């Protein structure tokens, strides 16, 4: 399973996530502040 580094554009929280977590964040927003995000906020870890 792939690993990604997520950086929230609003609260700037950095989180390392797997593919299923990435999909959940894309659907629900940042797990810290709930800001909406898109695929550009993820990069391979």
Question: φ and ψ at 39, to 5 degrees?
Answer: -60, -25
Q: Which two tokens stand for residue 14?
A: 């950095």
What's the pLDDT tens digit per position in 6-44?
Answer: 999 999 999 999 999 999 999 999 999 999 999 999 999
Confidence category of residue 1, pLDDT binned at 50, 70, 90: confident
CA distance 1 to 28: 21
Two tokens at 34? 């709930």
Tokens of 10: 């609003």
């Amino acid at each position: 399973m792939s690993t990604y580094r997520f950086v929230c554009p609003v609260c700037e929280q950095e989180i390392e996530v797997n593919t299923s977590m990435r999909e959940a964040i894309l659907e629900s927003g940042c797990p810290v502040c709930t800001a909406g995000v898109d695929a550009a906020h993820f990069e391979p870890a």
